[in-house]
Structure 1
């Protein structure tokens, strides 16, 4: 359990810090869960991510989470091998549920009440996604993990992250990267040594330049609904708190 100062009724912690948004949707890639192995679930990484979520909760921030499934199965991989794309995408949705259950278990080991809600019906292990019920969980201080994507093929998990953020009146979509890239750059910093990190960028610049922040559908949706996006390195311990408190130089703000 985090030992960070708890927040008072106004959302201000004992050390005088007020988070920028009282409610967020945290988007994590499935690959982040794999660690250096590149596949499967690394328990130490999941615990680190869970501890950062618990720290955000200690600030009084409501946290909903959307997780990808690329560490287990990616629909495009199956489609590329000749599998029916819709079938492959449904398999990917199941992978997101596996990751969600893993994170739920770790959060509850840290004594953080958590609910997994899924767009696919599987009552034995998760609640169906119902907006009002999700809002009630958040109001009660529970972390809500939104699994199963949209329950429909042909969408990445970026799209439900944006959609759920709007539905749940979140202040921002917080997009965690996993490959050591700590924000949005002018080009891929791993391929172009001259690439520079951007502190802030507009939605239209992301779309026009083809920057790989989130998929274009989700970027357009966030633009239409005035939902800011912050891209940051989720595997750097304490970075979620830094994003929430507006520490300069951490991540890139898209708005």
Structure 2
């Protein structure tokens, strides 16, 4: 088998993606599917890290608009990401891989603290690493956490898993004439407000030369094709 195009990747998953067809919570079918997709990539020698959101359980920003203290709401959202991370760890281990959860806030009874050097060692040993609790700080999204962790672990590629097959100039579910981009620069995405990620995350990726691919997570085999060098899958964002 040919060598993969990327040796180390970071995959950003939204909490909502874990719901599947449910209105709330975690779908075992989705976590099992994701575990299988990740295993196919690990089996060809790619090191994989994940960052997961918590919107399927709790969104602090929404409750802040309703009157809750924003810092408290964001802290609750961080805890929701830990729940999702543990669910992914379980699914990954059930398909025969080793996985570790590292949290940006201390919950030592259920997972490790985030320590960069230890994270790098886990990846070098072939373990799948799931980063939880965002950056550990309020007011920062899990997109920003994913960009930060991707830079910290020196990933070759960051992927954002979505429900559409790339970046469009309009919502393809609402506009049948929406145009999909094969490739776009960070400055173009920021200037056109394409909604790829929040601006903090995009600027961090741009300034550190982090390559990004936005793709449809529900397409079987898409992740393997991307890491194998298939440029026809998803939309690439480069500096």
Q: Same fold (TM over 0.5)?
A: yes
Pair 1:81-2:35 in alignment:
no
Residue 48 of structure 1: aligned partner: 33
Q: How does 1:176-191 map to 2 (within 5 A)?
A: 176-177=161-162, 179=163, 181-191=164-174
Deviates more, 1:242-251 or 1:142-151: 242-251
1:247 offset after TM fit, Å?
2.1
Structure 1: 5+ residue stretches without partners: 1-13
Q: How does 1:208-227 map to 2 (within 5 A)?
A: 208-227=191-210
- Which of these residues, 118, 130, 134, is aligned with residue 133 of structure 1? 118
SS of the residue corresponding to residue 44 of structure 1 reads helix
Residue 95 of structure 1: aligned partner: 80
SS of the residue corresponding to residue 37 of structure 1 reads coil
Separation (CA, whole Å) in 2 of partners of 1:105 and 1:57: 16
Separation (CA, whole Å) in 1 of partners of 2:117 and 2:197: 26
Cα offsets for 1:139-165 (capped at 9, x unmatched): 101001000101100010011111111
Aligned residue-pair number: 238
Residue 106 of structure 2: aligned partner: 121
Q: How does 1:1-255 map to 2 (within 5 A)?
A: 14=1, 16=2, 18-177=3-162, 179=163, 181-255=164-238
Separation (CA, whole Å) in 2 of partners of 1:84 and 1:198: 39
Task: Tell me if the contact between 1:89 and 1:153 (Cα under 8 Å) persists in the aligned partners.
Answer: yes
1:167 offset after TM fit, Å?
0.8
Task: Tell me if the contact between 1:230 and 1:251 (Cα under 8 Å) persists in the aligned partners.
Answer: yes
Task: Tell me if the contact between 1:31 and 1:38 (Cα under 8 Å) persists in the aligned partners.
Answer: no
Residue 9 of structure 1: aligned partner: none
Structure 2: 5+ residue stretches without partners: none
1:248 offset after TM fit, Å?
4.0
TM norm structure 1? 0.91
TM norm structure 2? 0.97
Separation (CA, whole Å) in 1 of partners of 2:73 and 2:98: 32
1:182 offset after TM fit, Å?
0.5
Aligned alpha-carbon RMSD (Å): 0.9
